[in-house]
Each structure stands twice: as C-alpha cells, then as structure tokens.
Chains A and B, each alone.
Chain A
C-alpha cells in the first residue's frame, strides 16, 4: 500500500501540474495521501496532521509543483522532516554515579526484561561490572526469566523472591551492588498500564528511592495509536530520559516512534531487533524515517 508512495505522489503531483496553479487547495489531495500513509504506519492521527501541515509548507516553499521529479522531491521533503522530528541532538546514556542506576519501565510484554539482559550484555562488553535487579514481583516466573538471561550473558542477578515490596528490593540491590563493587545497576520492573494508578505509583516510588541516572521507557514497535497516551503518562510520572523501541526485526512500520518523540520530546536511544542477547542497536532517525514511509 505504501511501498510506492513515491510513485503515487509523482502521479498526484503531475495531475496537479496540469491544473497549472500551485495552491493550498490543489496540493491538498497529495498531502492527504501522505497523511494516510503515515496513519497506515501507525503514526498518531494528530501527529500525522501536524507533520503533514509542516510538509505542506515546505513543499510550497520548495516549489515541488514545478520540480522535474515532483514525487521524489516530495518524498525527500517528507523524509527530511521525519528524520528531523525523530532526531535532534544525539544524546548518550547517562551512567554517572557509583553505581550508576538504570531503571527500565513500560507496558506489559513490550520487551523490558529482554532489553535489560541485552543492555547488561552490551555494557559488560565495555568492561563494566553489572548487576541486574529483578523488581517484577508479579508476573509468573519473571524473576526466573531474568535469572536465565543473566546466566546466559554471565551477569549477576539480584532477586528477593519472598519480598513483596519492589521499592525495598531496589534499595537492597543497590547496597548489594556497592558491596560487590558493581559499576552499573539495571532495574527490570513489572509491566504496567498507564491507567493503573497503584502500579504507576510503585514505579514512581522506585525512582524516588534509588534516583536513577537513566530511565528508559520500552515500547513495542507494533504499538498503534495508543502509544501517545502511554508515553505521555509514563513521562509525566517518571520524566524518563530515553525510549527503547523493540521488535524491530519484524515488519512493523513503527510510526509510534514518531508519535512518541513528537509528544514527549525524548530521544529514542536503542532499538531491539530480536530475542537474542546480541540483538541490540543504536537508533538511526533516517533509517526509521524510511521505514515509516515503507521505503
């Protein structure tokens, strides 16, 4: 449907050329095509509107209608716009503190535990001493899951299977990390819905108790329109530092990336591209832009 966006736009623009005048009105149908492609890629309805409004301005500015390859120029403008919207200044992760504390949060099943393992693996390879902390006391076998991953990558996992208070587990873990000379503590938390007040309070309390240098919000790249609601609430509660986009080894367009960046203005820092512990990559805005456009 969107594979041939460039062709479609070429056609749309050429039809317009016949009408001879460049105006808001005759560019509208082309813009509508772009908006539709964005919504098909799961870009939030309102964000898609904002983006296409800006694209319209630029297209008129750059005289798309009289270009030799109007479709191509149009797509280039869109791509630039998306890249810019998702990029901004490259921000690294903040691992200050001894130990540095990284808190992982997000919806159920988004890929937090898997990412925690991957991130530990990545940092371990840089020669750091890592401690993984199992703060998901709810999901059946969540602790075992993290322990299995820890074993796979050779990273210690701190857990208190009998303790029903995630905040105190996190605190105890940090004391433990200090006594073992760990540089970095990665805290895996339970999945939670943004509307679950008790659970949102819990993660807020974990944050307060351990003051992480980095809080990462983990999002499934298949997420649809709701991504903005969730990201907004998690950001209000946690003021997170970055986003991790998971399951990009599939074929989801990943429009949620654009929506989230637009709504909370936090950088996307990592992408997860598989179930294996090595399947972690840094985020490239230009690649993501192409992906969203289906190119």
Chain B
C-alpha cells in the first residue's frame, strides 16, 4: 500500500527549493496544494514518482505558447508581414540586448529585420542599439536622443515596410511601472504605430530580469494594464538566479515565456523549454 500523504519533511524541503528560486510564497503554496491533491488521488508510492509529479505540476502552471508546438520559436514563416514586435520592461532588464539577439536569430533564418530606436531617453541608448544593429548587420531607424519615441516607432514601421522588412523590432526605454506618465507613453507609442499599420504591434514582449524577485509580479500586473503583453523573455539565467517568479506570472496572466537570455553575446538567446526550466529549479 502506497503512502497517500506527503510527509512534512519533503514538503519543507520543497518549500525551501521553490522559495529560494523566487517562486514566491503564494505560488509555492499553490504548487504544494496541487501535489497534495495529486498524491491523494494517485497514491504515490515512492520518492521518484513524487519528484516527477512535482515537476509536472510546476510545469503545468506555465502558460502554453499559443502557436502550437513550434519546435523553433525563432521560426517566423507563418507570420504576417511585416511583423511588428515591441519590447517593454523596467530599467536594465536586458531589452536592448534581447533585441540584438533576436535580430541575429531572425536574420540568420533569412528574414529581413529592421530595428527602431524608440528609447530616446537613457544616455547612449540609441548608440547602443545602433552598435547591435552593426554587429548583427541590420538597419536601425533612429531620430537621435530626446526625440519623440512614438514618431520613431511610427517611422520604423513606415521605413521598415518601404525596405520590405519581415520583422520590425521596436526598443523602448526602461520604465518603472510606478511612473504613470512613462507607462501611458507605451499606449501612445502603440496608438501612433497603429495609425500606420492597424494590426501593429503584432506582439508586445515583456522582458524580465531573471534575478528579480517578487516585484516582477507587480511589473507584469502594471504593464498588462497599459498594453496587452503577448510574451515574456527572461534574461540573465546564465548566473545563479533561477527566475522562478515567472511561474506565478505565467500562471496568473496566462502569458507564455518565449525566450531566455543566457549571456551577453548575440548567440546567447534560447527558446524557452518548460521542462528544462523546471528541472533547473530542482538542480542541486
């Protein structure tokens, strides 16, 4: 006869692992409840099985990517043309770097990519994106610093279409979700772009720093208030931070995680893999 209760010691250990990975108390409790329910129902017999259940239940909280089972999320064959991707997030999370890496991946697959430098605020932000453009070999549309970000975005879409671009990626300034004016500006950028191309942006990607703790949940909440968020990228997972907060976010807001950043070079972007991500949380 198998044990139908998970013992406290295992649960304590589990709690420590999850909390230490930034999963957060609420989501951790949720995972533990799910496991207890599963164990109650299935009557687990050994620790190995429990381990598998645990991973499955954790992974189940991560929202599905709607584009069903794309093996390679860098694959963009069935997308509308041009596909406009706008990248948002708080300060310093890795937006510009992720854009450089994405441009490289799309370009490698024979797509024509154009970048729009709509961070006109942070010192040398335009230069940074231009250097990425050079590095990867894609054009960057810019109006220089301290110009209107909406006009830059508009122009990037317009010029991108003239250049027959497949993908247009718009960089935006880092902004804390507590700054109302800056948050409203995102809505404005979107509206201005839509004047030119009504379906744009086709995707708004929010970038999260993998070392961020529970504040990331509030970031997601506040950004989704001003614009739909279609995908998440989680960066800096090449360090010791686990990025576990994304589980609760993906669950609560039903946003799929698309990519992970694993370094500062142009090849350091990977397609998100649920099971690998969950396994990394439990790696000793």
With both beta carbons as reference points, the residue of chain B lying nearest to A42 in the complex is identified as B213
Q: Does B70 belong to the interface (CB within 8 Å)?
A: no
Q: Min CB distance, A193 to chain B, in Å?
A: 4
Instruction: Please determine whether A149 and B92 come into contact, CB atoms closer than 8 angstroms.
Output: no
Question: Which among B90, B218, B240 is the interface contact of A194 at CB below 8 angstroms?
Answer: B240
With both beta carbons as reference points, the residue of chain B lying nearest to A107 in the complex is identified as B211
Q: Does A271 belong to the interface (CB within 8 Å)?
A: no
How many interface residues does B have (CB within 8 Å)? 45
Main secondary structure of the interface of A (DSSP, over half): loop
Instruction: Please determine whether A256 and B213 come into contact, CB atoms closer than 8 angstroms.
Output: yes
CA distance A39 to B218 in the complex (A): 15
By a beta-carbon cutoff of 8 Å, the part of chain A in contact with chain B is 1, 36, 39-42, 44-45, 107-111, 113, 138-142, 144-149, 152, 193-195, 220, 222-227, 229-230, 247, 249-253, 255-256, 275
Q: Does B241 belong to the interface (CB within 8 Å)?
A: yes
Q: Which of B130, B177, B212 has the most CB of A within 10 A?
A: B212
Query: Assuming the A-B contacts A223-B211, A255-B213, are A195 and B240 also in contact, with contact meaning beta carbons closer than 8 angstroms in the complex?
Result: yes
Q: Min CB distance, A118 to chain B, in Å?
A: 12
Question: Which among B130, B176, B214 is the interface contact of A247 at CB below 8 angstroms?
Answer: B176
Q: Which of A141, A144, A255 has the most CB of B within 10 A?
A: A141
Query: Assuming the A-B contacts A45-B19, A139-B264, are A40 and B214 also in contact, with contact meaning beta carbons closer than 8 angstroms in the complex?
Result: yes
Query: Assuming the A-B contacts A109-B94, A140-B132, are A193 and B236 also in contact, with contact meaning beta carbons closer than 8 angstroms in the complex?
Result: yes
By a beta-carbon cutoff of 8 Å, the part of chain B in contact with chain A is 16, 19-22, 24-26, 90-94, 100, 121-125, 127-128, 130-132, 135, 176-179, 209, 211-216, 218, 236, 238-242, 245, 264
- Report chain B residues within 8 Å CB of A247: 90-92, 176
Instruction: Please determine whether B241 and A275 come into contact, CB atoms closer than 8 angstroms.
Output: no
Query: Assuming the A-B contacts A39-B19, A250-B178, are A223 and B213 also in contact, with contact meaning beta carbons closer than 8 angstroms in the complex?
Result: yes
Q: Min CB distance, A150 to chain B, in Å?
A: 10
Instruction: Please determine whether B124 and A229 come into contact, CB atoms closer than 8 angstroms.
Output: no
With both beta carbons as reference points, the residue of chain B lying nearest to A138 in the complex is identified as B264
